[in-house]
Amino acid sequence: MDVHALQQIVHGTRDARRKQTLPKFSPADRDQLIHKYHPDYRERAYRPIRFGPNGGDKTVVELASLLEGDSSIADEFDLTADYTTDVLVVGGGGAGCAAALHAHTSGAKVILATKLRLGDSNSVMAQGGMQISVAPGDSPVTHFVDTLKGGHMQNDHQLLKVMVEEGPSIAKWLLSLGVLFDRDGDGNLHVKKGGGSSKPRLLTCSDYTGLEIMRVLKDEVLNQNIQLLEFCAAVELTSDEKGNCTGAIFKDLDNHRHVVVAAKSVILATGGIGRLHIQGFPTSNHYGATGDGLCLAYRLGAKLTQIDTFQYHPSGAVYPEQLIGALVTEGIRSEGGHLVNAKGERFVNELDTRDVVSSSIIRECEEGRGIRTMSGRVGVWLDTPLLDAEHGPGTLEKHFPAMMLQFDRFGIDISKDPVLIYPTLHYQNGGVKIDTNSETNVHNLFVAGEASGGLHGRNRLMGNSLLDLMVFGKRSGLTAAVRAAAMPQGKLTVGHLKGFRAEAKKHGSSNGIVSPMILPAYTRKES
């Protein structure tokens, strides 16, 4: 059927649906739904990691093989340093920029190395906003409780407390750098309500929150003359005889040469894993989201946590073909957009947590109430025109300019037509285990941002990631800078590889895979 004909059911049922209120699931129903439909519970997709710090723990097969993968660096590699620095930041997203700026401000010499250009990352794409408890009726404690609930009570309490308490001062820092958060009439910060939150708490810059923050942070990194190594992908870390981290080895993607950086501390801010396309899911992530930091830290002995849980964002585009996997911001649901199945029915409280909403969409589709595209995908409708109907014409245009433009490029006017969506691989809930200063169990190795784990429990609450980046970027940067002032540069070796390779051999794991992946292999080979 023509897409417009299929959409009629959404238009036809809109008024009736507006009168409906859908209750949230009871804790028992919610658990049952998730266990049955959430991709995290597909046994077949998982296997135990054979060896290393998390030997025996289960994770998705895609990640397990990379963690067990071999380094591209040989034992006898020439480790003469090309650069020497106090703090080496790896990754140019929000966490990396925040870490570099704070380390620099406290007087450390900083190098920021990143795989693509500075800022090419997941961070630029964040549309929904950033959770900070600034509203009068809200508090850091409520923020803490909401996040715990969202994370199925599995969040690290200490990390979480630090994050929610430092939120407001982070907002102040960003404002002082010129970030233009949306305001209320009285000049206070405007807050929106996000899925899974009991209070409106999302700070936004229309639907360009990540872009606005990143434009400013990037500009600031350049203004501070922080040394940049762009198109440099970290392929291995270096360690001294005690196993402490002492630097990193990069591959320059332009000339394919290696670059060795000696550093007193290394901060990995390499982001997530979307481009591993776990369980075949499309993804909302940037080109370089290949879990590199996990592999690097793991080989050096850093412990990972909660790497068996991933976030599948409920609304990834399914149609048109060109936008598959691209994110349709949760803001649409925050402002009242309904999810509607092929029968014209709502089937979940749209503001429930992401895992619940995603699971229910998968349920609708598996039980035959989805809408299929000719390319074999399936999805449900997100009633975008409802926002204009509810809040007046022009609402979408005003609040979601980025999304309007994105669909308009393919001739779709989302203020007139609903969009088809299905869960998309969005976020790695877990990652490298860190303490409240963002340091791992490997001395002088810090991990900040999406690559780290523990804070978000088994399901990250929307808007908490941007805050995570800023808070732990800052903490890692400050701690590394202070420490650098009082320590000598350690020796550069790749001694840790010996042990890792021996382990691999013992476990019969010569799977031939070299990690990190660096970029996904999308280039079509000769057929």
Partner 1 sequence: MAQEDTNIIDQPEVIRHKMVTVEIAGKKYEVPEGITIIKALWYSGQEVVRGAGCLGGFCGACAAYYRTKDDPKVRTCLACQMAVQDGMSITMMPPFPARKATYDIQTLKDPKQDLFNLYPEAPLCRNCNACTEACPQKIDVREGVWKAVFGDFKSVSEMFMDCVMCGMCTPVCIADIAPNLVALYVSRAQGAHFTEKPLGLDARIKEIQDGRFDDEWATILKMSEKELADHCATVK
Ligand X SMILES: Cc1cc2nc3c(=O)[nH]c(=O)nc-3n(C[C@H](O)[C@H](O)[C@H](O)COP(=O)(O)OP(=O)(O)OC[C@H]3O[C@@H](n4cnc5c(N)ncnc54)[C@H](O)[C@@H]3O)c2cc1C
- The residues carrying an active-site annotation are 313, 333
Please state, in angstroms and rounded to a whole number, the distance separating the CA atoms of residues 98 and 91. Answer: 11
Cα gap 247→234, rounded to integer Å: 10
Q: Residue 175 binds what, of ligand X, partner 1, none (CB under 5 to 8 Å, by partner type)?
A: partner 1
Q: At what angle do helices 27-37 and 354-366 cross, to 10 degrees?
A: 60
Partner whose footprint covers residue 177, from partner 1, ligand X, none (CB < 5 to 8 Å by kind): partner 1
CA nearest 436: which of 474, 481, 465, 463?
A: 474
Residue 97 C-beta: closest distance to ligand X, Å:
8
| Residue 315 touches ligand X, criterion: CB under 6 A | no
Q: How far apart are CA 112 and CA 122, in angstroms?
A: 17
- 148: buried, middle or exposed (CB in 10 Å: 19+, 13-18, 0-12)? middle
Shortest distance (Å) from residue 387 CB to ligand X: 17
- Closer residue to ligand X, CB minimum distance, 385 or 449: 449
404 is a site residue for ligand X (CB under 6 A): no
169, interface contact from ligand X, partner 1, none, CB < 5-8 Å by kind: partner 1
Site for ligand X contains 450 (CB under 6 A): yes
Question: Smallest Cα–Cα separation from 380: which of 339, 417, 416?
Answer: 339
- Closest approach of Cβ 321 to partner 1, in Å? 5
First-to-last alpha carbon distance for the chain, in angstroms, is 34
Size of the site for ligand X (CB under 6 A): 46
Identify which range of 29-37, 114-122, 135-143, 488-496 contacts ligand X by CB under 6 A.
Answer: 114-122
Query: Among 52, 53, 69, 92, which residue interacts with ligand X (rule: CB under 6 A)?
Result: 92
Which partner, ligand X, partner 1, none, binds residue 93 by CB below 5 to 8 Å per kind? ligand X
> How far apart are alpha carbons 21 and 23 in whole angstroms?
6
Q: Which does 140 bind (CB under 5 to 8 A by kind): partner 1, ligand X, none?
A: partner 1
Could you tell me which of 295, 277, 309, 323 has the C-alpha nearest to residue 520?
277
Q: b/e string for 317-345 if b means 16 or more Cβ within 10 A?
A: bbbbeebbbbbbbbbbbbbbbbbbbbebb
Instruction: Report the partner that residue 179 touches, choosing among ligand X, partner 1, none (CB closer than 5 to 8 A by kind).
Output: partner 1
Q: Which region among 158-166, 301-309, 461-469, 479-487 touches ligand X (by CB under 6 A)?
A: 461-469
By beta carbon distance, the residue nearest ligand X is 93
Q: Calculate the alpha carbon distances from 60 to 51, 52, 196, 197, 309 in Å.
A: 15, 16, 26, 29, 9
130 scored as a contact of ligand X (CB under 6 A): yes
Site for ligand X in 173-232 (CB under 6 A): 209-210
Candidates 52-60, 118-126, 179-187, 300-308; binding stretch for ligand X (CB under 6 A): 118-126
Taking every pair of C-alpha atoms in the chain, what is the biggest distance, in angstroms?
Answer: 71
Does 463 bind ligand X (CB under 6 A)? Our answer is yes
In whole angstroms, how close is the CB of 253 to partner 1 at the nearest point? 5
The answer to whether 233 contacts ligand X (rule: CB under 6 A) is: yes
Q: Residue 130 binds what, of ligand X, partner 1, none (CB under 5 to 8 Å, by partner type)?
A: ligand X
Among 111, 125, 382, 421, contact with ligand X (rule: CB under 6 A): 125
Cα dist. 85→104, 175, 259, 489 in Å? 11, 30, 13, 9
CB of residue 302 to partner 1, shortest distance in Å: 27
Place of tokens 């929307």: 462
Write down how long the chain is.
527
Residue pair 70/513 in contact (Cβ under 8 Å)? The answer is yes
What residues numbered 343-402 form the site for ligand X, per CB under 6 A?
none
Q: Please compute Rg for the chain using Cα positions.
A: 23
Give contact residues for ligand X (rule: CB under 6 A): 90-96, 113-116, 120-123, 125-130, 209-210, 233-234, 269-272, 284-286, 288-289, 292, 327, 427, 449-451, 463-466, 469, 516
